[in-house]
């Protein structure tokens, strides 16, 4: 019977442990925290968006090449994840492609995994921080302050540096380095974005529907306003709910942009953001609507014209960008035909200058990690060290919000677990 040691009791670690045990291995899970699945409990605001019913989840993941990620993902697809949890007694439901436990609690996911590990007689050793990882002859030694665990295979499922209070403190990278592996630069991937500007305190807490685009500046060293002719490459665009904060912007759509911003040392000079605050209208449709409202309101002040379109706190900011004041009358739009266009432009093309992202404490997952060029995509075994496997966030793979990162955790944990248990995929059942 092969002995498998799983370092890390998060989502991918628990999946790896269960899969290895089901494939006949004697499994020991070692974790520095005092309970399993601490980060898992926070996912989906405690509701746990555990996967997404996407036939091509690899298209929403980054870091490693698409083909490398696809090879891993195909071994446990989203429908397989739902089937796996149903076997454990966890009912799920789908809403707009997102999959949640029927209980609405992330703790239910942790509970059924814990019960399955207990049923499979998997040993779980908590509050055991790993000090070293070393291979002697054909045996792996995992040392903590109190014990030396020995195994035929080791799976590093230690997480990244995101939310370090849950145990993802980056220590797994040090263990990977001990075995000769390269670490791609680690940075926040799903995080709020810090922006330049003196108006954010006034609009802090406002939520609005928007579309936000991230561009690479065509001409370096410039700040907004950015003329249309100077817009460079569109790096990413997202729509959804935008949350304004005193430091910049947040919300799921913003998180999706963060990994691209954190890749730049001086994002304010190299990138710019543009928010469309009324994405359901074209600029022409909005301009006609503004003129129509101006005709109806006459001498009424412009802020009244905008109350049905924008949050009240955003109106002064938009007016300033359009070169207008709160005291201007709606009739002014009729007197100056260019004003309606400027006002529509301020709403549809609101520029933001990114300063960077919030730190690892505030990000959900990280970009970067163990270089996947040194890891087999078929088995997730190291190409440098036989019997060493990787799963989850420790690898240089990160996904968009919407269950993609947990889908990666399940698929990579499954792949590493069965490979470590069998030593050869030919023996997998």
CATH of the domain at 149: 3.50.50.60
Whole-Å CA distances, 429 to 19, 21, 22, 198, 414: 10, 12, 9, 60, 12
Tell me: do 22 and 114 sit in the same domain.
Answer: yes
Q: Average pLDDT, stretch 130-145? A: 95
Q: Residue 348 and residue 283: Cα distance in Å, rounded?
A: 7
Can you give the pLDDT at residue 428?
Answer: 42
- Give yes or no for residue 426 having a pLDDT over 50: no
Can you give the pLDDT at residue 226?
Answer: 55
Q: Which of 17-31, 221-235, 396-410 has the lowest mean pLDDT?
A: 221-235
Structure confidence by residue, pLDDT tens digits, 167-180: 889 999 999 999 99
Q: Average pLDDT, stretch 100-128? A: 97
Q: Average pLDDT, stretch 175-188? A: 97
Strand pairing of 92-95 and 26-30?
A: unpaired
Domain holding 116, by residue range, is 3-188+362-427
Q: How many domains, the chain?
A: 2
Q: Average pLDDT, stretch 144-160? A: 96
Tell me: do 250 and 352 sit in the same domain.
Answer: yes
Q: Residue 42 and residue 49: Cα distance in Å, rounded?
A: 10
Q: Which of 68-72, 160-164, 412-416 has the lowest mean pLDDT?
A: 160-164
Tell me: do 196 and 318 sit in the same domain.
Answer: yes
Q: Residue 232 and residue 224: Cα distance in Å, rounded?
A: 13
- Domain C-terminal end among 325, 358, 391: 358
pTM for the structure as a whole: 0.91
Q: Which of 3-7, 45-49, 320-324, 422-426 has the lowest mean pLDDT?
A: 422-426
Structure confidence by residue, pLDDT tens digits, 216-226: 987 655 555 55
Structure confidence by residue, pLDDT tens digits, 249-273: 999 999 999 999 999 999 999 999 9
Q: Average pLDDT, stretch 19-32? A: 97
Q: Residue 330 and residue 347: Cα distance in Å, rounded?
A: 16
Structure confidence by residue, pLDDT tens digits, 290-306: 999 999 998 999 999 99
Can you give the pLDDT at residue 427?
Answer: 41
Q: Which of 214-218, 368-372, 411-415 has the lowest mean pLDDT?
A: 214-218
Please provide residue 148's backbone torsions phi and psi, each rounded to the nearest 5 degrees.
-120, 110
Name the more confident of 47 and 347. 347
- Give yes or no for residue 424 having a pLDDT over 90: no
Other beta carbons within 10 angstroms of residue 273's beta carbon come to 22
Tell me: do 317 and 266 sit in the same domain.
Answer: yes
Tell me: do 281 and 345 sit in the same domain.
Answer: yes
- Give yes or no for residue 278 having a pLDDT over 50: yes
- Give yes or no for residue 229 having a pLDDT over 70: no
Tell me: do 156 and 202 sit in the same domain.
Answer: no
Tell me: do 273 and 140 sit in the same domain.
Answer: no
Tell me: do 169 and 196 sit in the same domain.
Answer: no
Can you give the pLDDT at residue 392?
Answer: 97
Can you give the pLDDT at residue 43?
Answer: 85
Name the more confident of 43 and 206. 206
Percent of the chain with pLDDT over 70: 96
- Domain C-terminal end among 341, 358, 375: 358
Name the more confident of 43 and 129. 129
Can you give the pLDDT at residue 219?
Answer: 66
Can you give the pLDDT at residue 222?
Answer: 55
- Domain C-terminal end among 358, 390, 418: 358
- Give yes or no for residue 201 having a pLDDT over 80: yes
């Amino acid at each position: 019977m092969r002995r498998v040691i799983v370092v890390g009791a998060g989502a991918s670690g628990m999946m790896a442990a269960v899969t290895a045990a089901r494939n006949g291995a004697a499994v020991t899970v070692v974790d520095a925290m005092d309970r399993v699945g601490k980060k898992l409990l926070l996912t989906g605001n405690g509701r746990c968006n555990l996967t997404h019913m996407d036939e091509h989840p690899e298209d929403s993941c980054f870091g490693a090449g698409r083909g490398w990620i696809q090879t891993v993902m195909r071994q446990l697809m989203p429908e397989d994840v739902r089937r796996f949890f149903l076997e454990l007694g966890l009912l799920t439901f789908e809403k707009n492609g997102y999959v949640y436990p029927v209980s609405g609690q992330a703790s239910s996911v942790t509970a059924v995994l814990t019960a399955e590990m207990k049923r499979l007689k998997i040993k779980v050793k908590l509050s055991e921080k790993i000090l070293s990882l070393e291979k002697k002859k054909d045996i792996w030694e995992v040392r903590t302050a109190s014990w030396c665990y020995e195994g035929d295979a080791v799976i590093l499922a230690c997480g990244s540096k995101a939310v370090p209070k849950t145990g993802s403190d980056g220590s797994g990278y040090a263990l990977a380095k001990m075995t000769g592996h390269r670490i791609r630069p680690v940075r926040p991937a799903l995080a709020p974005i810090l922006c330049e500007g003196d108006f954010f305190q006034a609009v802090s807490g406002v939520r609005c529907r928007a579309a936000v685009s991230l561009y690479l500046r065509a001409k370096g060293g410039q700040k907004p306003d950015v003329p249309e002719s100077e817009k460079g490459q569109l790096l990413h665009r997202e729509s959804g709910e935008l949350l304004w904060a005193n430091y910049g912007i947040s919300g799921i759509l913003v998180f999706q942009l963060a990994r691209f911003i954190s890749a730049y040392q001086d994002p304010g000079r190299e990138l710019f953001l543009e928010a469309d605050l009324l994405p359901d209208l074209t600029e022409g449709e909005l301009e006609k609507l503004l003129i129509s409202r101006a005709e109806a309101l006459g001498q009424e002040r412009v802020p009244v014209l905008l109350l049905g379109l924008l949050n009240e706190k955003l109106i002064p900011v938009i007016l300033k960008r359009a070169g207008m004041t709160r005291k201007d009358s709606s009739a002014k739009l009729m007197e100056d035909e260019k004003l309606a266009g400027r006002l529509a432009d301020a709403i549809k093309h609101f520029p933001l200058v990114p300063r960077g992202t919030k730190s690892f404490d505030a990000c959900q997952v990280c970009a970067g990690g163990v270089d996947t060029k040194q890891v087999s995509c078929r088995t997730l075994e190291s190409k440098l060290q036989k019997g060493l496997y990787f799963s989850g966030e420790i690898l240089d793979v990160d996904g968009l919000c919407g269950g993609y990162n947990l889908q990666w955790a399940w698929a990579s944990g499954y792949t590493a677990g069965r490979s470590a248990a069998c030593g050869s995929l030919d023996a997998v059942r």
